Amino acid sequence: MAMKKSEGRVTIEKQVEDRRTSIGSQRNPASEEAILKAAQDILLEGGLPAFSIEAVARRAKAGKPTIYRWWPSKAALLLDVYHRQKDGVPHPDTGDIRKDLSLFLGGLIGFWRDGGGAIFRSIIAEAQSDPAALQALQAYALSRCRQSGVILERGQARGEVRADIDPALLIELFSSFAWNRLLTSRLDVSDEEIEQIVSAVVDGVAVRK
Amino acid sequence: MAMKKSEGRVTIEKQVEDRRTSIGSQRNPASEEAILKAAQDILLEGGLPAFSIEAVARRAKAGKPTIYRWWPSKAALLLDVYHRQKDGVPHPDTGDIRKDLSLFLGGLIGFWRDGGGAIFRSIIAEAQSDPAALQALQAYALSRCRQSGVILERGQARGEVRADIDPALLIELFSSFAWNRLLTSRLDVSDEEIEQIVSAVVDGVAVRK
Amino acid sequence: MAMKKSEGRVTIEKQVEDRRTSIGSQRNPASEEAILKAAQDILLEGGLPAFSIEAVARRAKAGKPTIYRWWPSKAALLLDVYHRQKDGVPHPDTGDIRKDLSLFLGGLIGFWRDGGGAIFRSIIAEAQSDPAALQALQAYALSRCRQSGVILERGQARGEVRADIDPALLIELFSSFAWNRLLTSRLDVSDEEIEQIVSAVVDGVAVRK
Amino acid sequence: MAMKKSEGRVTIEKQVEDRRTSIGSQRNPASEEAILKAAQDILLEGGLPAFSIEAVARRAKAGKPTIYRWWPSKAALLLDVYHRQKDGVPHPDTGDIRKDLSLFLGGLIGFWRDGGGAIFRSIIAEAQSDPAALQALQAYALSRCRQSGVILERGQARGEVRADIDPALLIELFSSFAWNRLLTSRLDVSDEEIEQIVSAVVDGVAVRK
DNA sequence: AACTAACCGAGACGGTACGTCTCGTCTTATG
DNA sequence: CATAAGACGAGACGTACCGTCTCGGTTAGTT
């Protein structure tokens, strides 16, 4: 992406090496792209400790004020970076609530374990000190729970799931578990563990009388 | 010279007053106490962003090296501060697994909501960038889950809870929910919500056939 | 926004007042000046022991990195401070080598005695532990000796001074005496002593046969 | 020296490794020796920058208070270290003032160049900030000049040197030159240079009429 | 023989300064 | 007027020493 940026301007005069300058009184998409790319790369390579506005500017060959102009805080940049990744967590519809929930939970954990979690971890951490990030995180989490609640709603429609269950709340319970494992770097969850959790919740912990 | 030494301490009690000096080749409990107190106060007042070794040293009227001597990292100090608060989360034993779990989850959330959570939030945030903090957090979380697992073990002993349930894993599921709410500042959980979650897990989400 | 920028500077003069910020991608003369001034004042007030980068930064209301950016070492800053004082040691040209040398030596000692020596003392001291300072001092001393050698060169041109004398070496001998007195705080040299030294060297210590 | 210290106690029980403890209510010569030795070694190896009370204590395996008990300041320790070295600068008596002065100046420079100067440099540097060191240095320098003045006094007695010359002052002039070279690390003075200086002063710089 | 007094090492204490890092703001020069 | 560049004040980081203090142990003289 970042390489493409000068491609359209090659013929216009002599082009000073590889420098990216203003394109006038408007936001420069090449800069935005370079900054987001740099931010993402830094996060994936060095994690949150390596992530600083300074480092992003350096790597993106951008001026710090350019970053501050468009992203008011570290958290805003983090969120933008996160939104770029399509998160690939599915809302399966196999017709079997056990399978659906196992696939959902396993998918979420797997996505995070395979590299997708680093940035989200950073956002959660940032949200503990930055109120703006916190609000964004709240909104994001809520909408995700609602979206994923569809799994249970389908189960309810099929008469497979109790009608008095709040789908979003239950999804929150499952994804909380994934959060916990993400935040404690214990994402190596076996299929058995996932199935045990799903089974416990679906069938109930209590002995059937 | 030797006479002067004890002269200032004749009145046994209230003495510390101004300056706190060494008590010889051994750790000074007064310093440790002052440092932990200062650290706690700073955390409660300004949260994680205000928490720096510099600030703690200043407030505790201690030298920075004194802190570094005893706590190798910011995270170590954070954990020590957290350990000082007796966390008051109970392991209730009412004989009814529903009540026990509700009291446990409600107790944890209540404790965090009423001020006890701020420091733990900070530790989780810190653990996202500091490997040492992460390790400490892992160990802590694990041991807590095992401890609280006793609630379910008692249920199993009573024949109330399925024997194939892993107590620690189930507790982890419940406390994950509390973590989630702590980290998203949504600890205002109603008793109904807690009961719904407990009920869902105890009785199962599935419709009984 | 853009309008606000110049608003505070409408009245051209007296403006600096409180805060001194960047003037763009280039060295800020106001900062440089403030730092050198602060350094000089600290040296004159508290001498070398009071002179620390920390103290200079504090007094100049500058950040430490700003100092380290422009002066790689304490010694470099010291030398810059010394160079600011025009040192007022003359190269007199009375036509009489005795008078010229007396005025030179007396002038040097007098300049140091009347306040100008404190900083140079500090530089010499610093050079004993800092190789960079040492090198700077060597270069400075050498060039001064060569400059002042002109006194003897004129004497040689007049046929008053032996042609086989190395002017710089002789000047070094005289200024060494001043160094010695500076470093041992014995700058209260009487005119008689100066004349005795000059007389000894000019006329020779040996009895004329 | 330091090695000998346990020699007398070998047979008395099992001797805890190599520890040097108190010998009762009196100064322990072994400790003093070990401290001076350590101080000297550090100075010769790392120069003034490496010389700290901390380092000396570490190397001498002594407690810091033991050092502070006997030497009130860094300078005092430095001076003691310097006094241990017999300085080997001669007061030659060849009967020829030229030879005597050349041997004196050459001897002083040579002694310093061959390792003896490092400590004296340190003392001079220290004296620029420590008044106690300064005073000690003044006294030392004065007495040395007076002692070495004997060279010129003998010349005066022989009728070889003008009677109106102050011997100490002249010696100060010569040794100032050595100081200068010591402090600027330019002790590689050739015999020719020494002879030129001596010749200039003995015979006079002025052309004989 | 017991006691005292001073010494010993060790090392903790409250501090200061070090030199490096990042922060978020600012101004320049370039296009 | 947006950009890359980079200087600025601020202040935290972790380290090295400073000079003071207390400790527990050792040993020489004195009782």
Question: Tell me: the pLDDT tens digits for B56-84?
Answer: 999 999 999 999 989 988 888 998 898 88
pLDDT confidence tier of residue A115, bands split at 50, 70 and 90:
confident
Query: Hunting for tokens 């992406």 — which residue is that?
Result: A1
pLDDT confidence tier of residue D63, bands split at 50, 70 and 90:
very high
Q: Does D206 sit within 8 Å of C206, measured CB to CB?
A: no
Asked if B48 and B126 touch (Cβ cutoff 8 Å), the reply is yes
Asked if B105 and B197 touch (Cβ cutoff 8 Å), the reply is yes
Q: Which residue has the higher pLDDT, B169 or D90?
A: B169
3-state secondary structure chain A: CCCHHHHHHCCCCCCCCCCCCCCCCCCCHHHHHHHHHHHHHHHHHHHHHHCCHHHHHHHHCCCHHHHHHHCCCHHHHHHHHHHHCCCCCCCCCCCCHHHHHHHHHHHHHHHHHHHHHHHHHHHHHHHCCCHHHHHHHHHHHHHHHHHHCHHHHHHHHCCCECCCCCHHHHHHHHHHHHHHHHHCCCCCCCHHHHHHHHHHHHHCCECCC
Chain F nucleotides covered by protein, CB below 7 Å: 1-29
B157: closest chain A residue by CA? A207
Q: Does B207 sit within 8 Å of A129, measured CB to CB?
A: no
For the cut 80, the answer to whether the pLDDT of residue C12 exceeds it is no
Nearest to B202 among A125, A160, A206 (CB): A206
Q: Do chains A and D touch (3 or more CB pairs under 8 A)?
A: no
> What pLDDT is attached to residue B108?
95
Task: Pick the closest to residue B81 from B102, B101, B67 (CA basis).
Answer: B67
Task: Pick the closest to residue B102 from B189, B197, B177 (CA basis).
Answer: B197
Asked if B180 and A183 touch (Cβ cutoff 8 Å), the reply is no
Element (H, E) at C152: helix C150-157
Q: Which residue has the higher pLDDT, C176 or A19?
A: C176
Q: Which two tokens stand for residue B132?
A: 């040492």
Q: In a mutagenesis test of the C interface, which of D42, D51, D121, D128 is the best target, namely the one with the most C β-carbons within 10 Å?
A: D128
Sign, CA dihedral D58-D62-D66-D67, equals negative
Q: In a mutagenesis test of the C interface, which of D184, D195, D197 is the best target, namely the one with the most C β-carbons within 10 Å?
A: D184
Distance A22 CA to F5 C1' (A): 13
B117: closest chain A residue by CA? A128
Alpha helices (H) along B22-116: 29-50, 53-60, 64-70, 74-84, 97-111
How far off is chain C from D19, nearest CA to CA, in Å?
33
For the cut 70, the answer to whether the pLDDT of residue C35 exceeds it is yes
How far off is chain D from C68, nearest CA to CA, in Å?
20
Q: How many angstroms separate the CA atoms of D88 and D85, rounded?
A: 9
Asked if B44 and B118 touch (Cβ cutoff 8 Å), the reply is yes
Asked if C135 and C98 touch (Cβ cutoff 8 Å), the reply is no
How many CB atoms lie under 10 A from the CB of residue D20?
A: 15
Q: Does A203 sit within 8 Å of B169, measured CB to CB?
A: no
Please give the radius of gyration of chain B, using alpha carbons only, rounded to the nearest integer.
Answer: 22
Using C1' positions and the CA of A27, the closest nucleotide is: F2
Torsion on CA atoms D29, D35, D41, D44, rounded to nearest 10 = -110
Q: Which two tokens stand for residue A19?
A: 């420098």
Q: Please, what is the Cα angle at D156 between D152 and D162, to 5 degrees?
A: 100
The pTM of the whole model exceeds 0.95: no
Backbone angles phi, psi at C73, to 5 degrees: -150, 165
For the cut 70, the answer to whether the pLDDT of residue B138 exceeds it is yes
Length of chain D: 209
Q: What are the chain B neighbours of A129 within 8 Å (beta carbons)?
A: 47-49, 125
B162: closest chain A residue by CA? A207
How many CB atoms lie under 10 A from the CB of residue B194?
A: 21
For the cut 70, the answer to whether the pLDDT of residue B50 exceeds it is yes
DSSP 3-state of D14: coil
Least confident segment among B7-11, C167-171, C197-201: B7-11
For the cut 60, the answer to whether the pLDDT of residue A136 exceeds it is yes
> What pLDDT is attached to residue B36?
93
Q: B161 forms bridges with which residues in the sheet?
A: A206
DSSP 3-state of D161: strand
Q: Does D183 sit within 8 Å of C97, measured CB to CB?
A: no
DSSP state of D4: G
Query: Hunting for tokens 């600096």 — which residue is that?
Result: C16
The rounded mean pLDDT for chain B is: 85
Residues 54-113 of B with CB under 8 A from A: 97
DSSP state of C50: H
User: Which whole-number Å values give the CA distances from C125 to C74, D32, D45, D118, in the listed order?
Assistant: 12, 28, 19, 13
User: Which whole-number Å values give the CA distances from C185 to B74, C110, C181, D2, D141, in the listed order?
Assistant: 49, 13, 6, 38, 12
How many CB atoms lie under 10 A from the CB of residue B114?
A: 10
Asked if D20 and D29 touch (Cβ cutoff 8 Å), the reply is no
Asked if A113 and A119 touch (Cβ cutoff 8 Å), the reply is no
pLDDT confidence tier of residue A2, bands split at 50, 70 and 90:
very low
Q: Residues near A19 by Cβ (< 8 Å), separated by ≥ 6?
A: A61
Task: State whether residue D179 sits within 8 Å of chain C by CB.
Answer: yes
Q: How many angstroms separate the CA atoms of D48 and D45, rounded?
A: 9
For the cut 70, the answer to whether the pLDDT of residue D127 exceeds it is yes
> What pLDDT is attached to residue B3?
34
Chain E nucleotides covered by protein, CB below 7 Å: 4-31
Alpha helices (H) along D61-166: 64-70, 74-84, 97-111, 117-127, 131-148, 150-157
For the cut 80, the answer to whether the pLDDT of residue D184 exceeds it is yes
pLDDT confidence tier of residue A50, bands split at 50, 70 and 90:
confident
Asked if D27 and D70 touch (Cβ cutoff 8 Å), the reply is yes
DSSP 3-state of C18: coil
Give the whole-number percent of chain A exceeding pLDDT 70.
Answer: 84
Q: Which two tokens stand for residue C15?
A: 């403006």
- Could you read off the pLDDT of B152-193 as tens digits, one per residue? 999 999 999 999 999 999 999 999 999 999 999 999 999 999
Query: What's the mean pLDDT in D184-205?
Result: 92
